[in-house]
Structure 1
């Protein structure tokens, strides 16, 4: 435990916070100033390098908050009589928490997904621009001595400005991407079955069915999270709806797309894709996707940049301070009782 935990709790009435952030490291998500703020406001039991369950159990009855993703079944939560918040700092809501038990107790289960949204949105825009103009493809050609000059390398190029664009999903990622696309004056449609059409219209968006979006869009951004309903949301039938030379940008979760069907469309040369997430990571050395020239590859890099990681620590400190003052959290994403059971997330390695 850290030195701050050795203080007698009767002499220090600051709320107690358990820090066990694996797979994150605390120095990655907390800047020096954020860590100082955390420790000035709370008694921090630092269990980052302490795997002994007894240490966690000893701190649990007094814990005001837990930072991390430990297993928290109902029996464990029952012993945490002062617990007010569980701060997931990995990025996904996992089945490590008995959510009904937490909600029944008024415990806030918070996720750090919003910290990644801007980074992912900018990366998604970069992939779209690459797919529209063949930037990395022609760079590869140059390095192999087969580059093409002037119009010869632009036969399939399109402008993003004014393009027909579709967003599948309008959560954190979609809301971060939309203002970036506004600068390109795109003809935008949105499909999100979790949002009423009138809500999308209130935000100045044009709602569309999945089929309409796929058939009309030149550029499609797959931004949906994975749930029992959205696994293979883009299967063979849906991908076949895409027009020839459509561009698909996939930056959310691999399970929302049927990669065998995507391979078939790409090997036929019908669509271009920029892909950041893969069913198996690292991608195997002999994976046939490596042979595709109409693919822009990325190794799950869209969100995990230093600025995004450091924002997590700031969000945690801000929201724990809010809760300690008797106010609701405002920066992290709260797990919704109606939705959290639908997620099919898996840890990012």
Structure 2
């Protein structure tokens, strides 16, 4: 049995044509209901129940967890691996949308759109609204990509296609691999000091906690922009706030230490910050790809084929 533990709204988005029903018997789980004991495949969404040893004891036939989102860290436990249950996820389906959203943010910062928008919305005079810092075209700019992840590679290709010179910092990427992507590999400090825009696409690891702190942010040139569609874990939010308050740099942020972002948070009042509510991956096309990817993975599993997006215990350390 395929059990779908995905809220109704997301089921309609991911599986608009009920593709899972073509693969076998499907049970849609009401919110907070226990998993049927005969569940063999569990399709999960955001807010999925934690798969503890106690919960798994009630589903002795469970063999596959297929997650419609990206990271499975919040609900996959050691008990899953101990039972030999396999796990797959749809992060790849979301990567292009995040890369494209990061591109949109990049263009907005280069053209000072947040400052213009803020000035006009808050009643500034026409001449005052025009008094933004100098603007730049992407084709004349150096862009630094921090992390050659799936999203980082999509973003890299997009900014390159529009003419940007690209630097990339990633300890897991060789100089030759960077060259194949059309970028120049360099160390983090050089990337920060040389880039008009720095886009964060690094993984969440113990060593990447506040990878960009006060020292690193101070290396950014005056007028530079920071785009973070990855995780707030990677950037010291207090240090970033201090730089943004000074007006020296700009930022486009989709992720925050506290979500939802509190109504009184100082980020909300700054003219040089573009804010989005953790929605970089939220295109209709990405959501349909997520559902299609999961359907394809479940079909492969049922046919006894190799999964294309399997997550193993050793992969969790590099997931957001």
TM-score (norm 2): 0.88
- Does residue 129 (structure 1) correspond to residue 107 (structure 2)? The answer is yes
- Say whether the 8 Å CA contact 2:157–2:181 is kept in structure 1: no
RMSD: 2.6
- Does residue 241 (structure 1) correspond to residue 222 (structure 2)? The answer is no
Q: 1:70 to 1:139 in 2, by over 3 A?
A: closer
Q: 1:161 to 1:78 in 2, by over 3 A?
A: same
The aligned length equals: 316
Helix, strand or coil at the partner of 2:65: strand
- Say whether the 8 Å CA contact 1:138–1:147 is kept in structure 2: no
Helix, strand or coil at the partner of 2:179: helix
Cα distance in 2 for partners of 1:297, 1:239 equals 19
Residue 45 of structure 1 is matched in structure 2 by 27
- Say whether the 8 Å CA contact 2:114–2:273 is kept in structure 1: no
1:313, CA displacement in angstroms? 1.3
Structure 2 residue aligned with 1:26, among 11, 19, 44? 11
Q: How does 1:108-257 map to 2 (within 5 A)?
A: 108-143=86-121, 144-148=123-127, 153=131, 155-257=133-235
Residue 263 of structure 1 is matched in structure 2 by 241
- Say whether the 8 Å CA contact 2:254–2:276 is kept in structure 1: yes
1:77, CA displacement in angstroms? 4.8
- Say whether the 8 Å CA contact 1:23–1:90 is kept in structure 2: no
Render the CA deviation track for 1:219-269: whole Å, top value 9, x for unaligned. Answer: 100112322221211111111111111111111111211111001111112
Cα distance in 2 for partners of 1:126, 1:103 equals 43
Cα distance in 2 for partners of 1:50, 1:219 equals 43
Unmatched runs of 5 consecutive residues or more in structure 1: 1-15
TM-score (norm 1): 0.82
- Say whether the 8 Å CA contact 2:86–2:310 is kept in structure 1: yes
Residue 87 of structure 1 is matched in structure 2 by 66
Helix, strand or coil at the partner of 1:322: helix
Cα distance in 2 for partners of 1:93, 1:197 equals 31
Unmatched runs of 5 consecutive residues or more in structure 2: none
- Does residue 71 (structure 1) correspond to residue 50 (structure 2)? The answer is yes
- Say whether the 8 Å CA contact 1:216–1:243 is kept in structure 2: yes
1:24, CA displacement in angstroms? 6.5
Render the CA deviation track for 1:20-50: whole Å, top value 9, x for unaligned. Answer: 125973112211x2x1x21121211221x15
Helix, strand or coil at the partner of 1:176: helix
1:57, CA displacement in angstroms? 4.7
- Say whether the 8 Å CA contact 2:204–2:233 is kept in structure 1: yes
Q: How does 1:321-340 map to 2 (within 5 A)?
A: 321-330=299-308, 333-340=309-316
1:100, CA displacement in angstroms? 7.4
